[in-house]
Amino acid sequence: MSTTKVNNRIFLSSPHMSEQGYEEQYVKEAFETNWVAPVGENINGFERELANMIDSKAAVALSSGTAAIHLALKAAGVKEGDVVFCPTLTFSATANPIIYQNATPVFIDSNYETWNMSPEALEEAFVKYPEVQAVIVVHLYGLSAEMDKIMEICNKHNVAVIEDAAESLGSYYKGQQTGTIGDYGIFSFNGNKIITTSGGGMLVSNKEERIEKARFWATQSRDQAQHYQHSELGFNYRMSNIVAGVGRGQLKVLEKRVEKKKYIFEYYKRELEGLEGVEFMPINDWDEPNYWLSALILNGQIRPIDVIQALEKENIESRPIWKPMHLQPFFEKYDFLGVGLSEKLFDNGMCLPSDTKMTDEDLEKVVGIIKRLWFK
């Protein structure tokens, strides 16, 4: 089952269930006890097992990573009119929940060393918006942001840090799991992430009482009473017990998935690094990434679109780097601080197929198609 390909297509990153069938076993147990809903043993197990694995005190399983960011913002006290700093180079799901809270995003540029939030641009933002309520940091493509500098700046201003670790489960910054360094961390189990539950998310924190509060909001904010009573706005954001079963099984193979992602990255790097204008994503000394996607920039004559089209012709999926939020029609009215490095990364960057089901033959094929563009 696990090696079957849909239409022989090579994907960027697609679901990969365990060879051992762990996920099915957990889901089967839920079926056999009719415990498909409401909350049940798989949810409790998934929360406990993930929290243990990453060394966090508390976790709440939710319907998506986006929901987790939303509740993290609420837990950090973000409300109408507040300013939230957010990296510009990210997926829109990082920024959308700021708008759900009727708050105002201010977008922060990337730096060249990490591709993630620039500490220099962040300092500038604190000068311009000293009233900021929270900072969201993203660990893009599994590369960790420069957390020591970012935490130092945020601690100096006593502002909550939310780590969007949707793409970086299994990535370590100086030995610490990304998502556990700031006040709150979020993970996503969407279909293309390093492990998936088909869809889902997790909010983690060492502030146990804040996680309990998030659990309460996520379950429609039901007060403790015989009747249905609500003194706060509620959300239907909890994960189902079936979905959590898939997650428990996937956690068992996370390490193997990281190993394969690293193998893929190193294969590409070995084969393509010498090509004119090719520069791979930065792996810093402090960083032990999960290599979720192998990304690179092309500074020469061959453009990302040339590579993407050549691969697509052979039924192989690849894509450009995230388009910065401050260039998005929906978000362009918000402020942006930086020198425009994120725009350069967007103009020149792309992600190669990084699916953990790829064989050496597949990798050879991708590399062959790319090299032909340089040597024709």
Ligand X SMILES: *Cc1c(COP(=O)(O)O)cnc(C)c1O
Given candidates 23, 109, 167, 355, which one binds ligand X under the rule CB under 6 A? Answer: 167
Cβ of residue 71: shortest distance to ligand X, in angstroms?
A: 12
The residue type of 45 is: G
Q: Indicate the residue among 119 and 201 with the shorter CB distance to ligand X.
A: 201
Q: Indicate the residue among 93 and 316 with the shorter CB distance to ligand X.
A: 93
Q: Indicate the residue among 103 and 278 with the shorter CB distance to ligand X.
A: 103
Cβ of residue 201: shortest distance to ligand X, in angstroms?
A: 5
The residue type of 323 is: K
229's tokens: 């009573």
Cβ of residue 337: shortest distance to ligand X, in angstroms?
A: 20
What does the alpha-carbon distance between residue 169 and residue 55 come to, in Å, rounded to a whole number? 12
Give the orientation angle of helix 92-100 with respect to helix 65-75, to 10 degrees.
Answer: 50
161's tokens: 């840090």
Q: What are phi and psi of 349, to 5 degrees?
A: -100, 155
311 touches 362 (CB < 8 A)? no
Q: What are phi and psi of 2, to 5 degrees?
A: -75, -15
Q: Indicate the residue among 179 and 338 with the shorter CB distance to ligand X.
A: 179
What does the alpha-carbon distance between residue 137 and residue 117 come to, in Å, rounded to a whole number? 7
DSSP state of 143: P
66 interacts with ligand X by CB under 6 A: yes
Q: Indicate the residue among 168 and 348 with the shorter CB distance to ligand X.
A: 168
178 interacts with ligand X by CB under 6 A: no
Provide the CB-side half-sphere exposure for 14 (13 A, CA). 16
> Where in 73-102 is the site for ligand X (CB under 6 A)?
90-91, 93-94
Q: Indicate the residue among 100 and 374 with the shorter CB distance to ligand X.
A: 100
296 interacts with ligand X by CB under 6 A: no
DSSP state of 193: S
CB 49: neighbour CB atoms within 10 A?
16
Q: Indicate the residue among 65 and 249 with the shorter CB distance to ligand X.
A: 65
Cβ of residue 199: shortest distance to ligand X, in angstroms?
A: 6
201 interacts with ligand X by CB under 6 A: yes
- Stretch touching ligand X by CB under 6 A, among 45-53, 60-68, 155-163, 206-214: 60-68
Number of residues that bind ligand X (CB under 6 A): 14
What does the alpha-carbon distance between residue 258 and residue 262 come to, in Å, rounded to a whole number? 6
Cβ of residue 191: shortest distance to ligand X, in angstroms?
A: 8
Q: Indicate the residue among 186 and 278 with the shorter CB distance to ligand X.
A: 186
Cβ of residue 193: shortest distance to ligand X, in angstroms?
A: 6
What is the pattern of x (binds ligand X, CB under 6 A) and - over residues 134-153? ----x---------------
Cβ of residue 65: shortest distance to ligand X, in angstroms?
A: 3
What does the alpha-carbon distance between residue 247 and residue 43 come to, in Å, rounded to a whole number? 9
> Where in 229-268 is the site for ligand X (CB under 6 A)?
none
3 state DSSP class of 177:
strand
| DSSP labels, 284-348 | -TTEE----SEEEEE-SSS-HHHHHHHHHHTTB--EEPPPPGGGSTTTTTS-EES-SHHHHHHHH
Given candidates 15, 40, 45, 65, which one binds ligand X under the rule CB under 6 A? Answer: 65
Given candidates 42, 111, 178, 190, which one binds ligand X under the rule CB under 6 A? Answer: 190
Q: Indicate the residue among 138 and 281 with the shorter CB distance to ligand X.
A: 138
Residue labelled with tokens 């986006």: 66
Instruction: Tell me which residues touch ligand X (CB under 6 A).
Output: 64-66, 90-91, 93-94, 138, 164, 166-167, 188, 190, 201
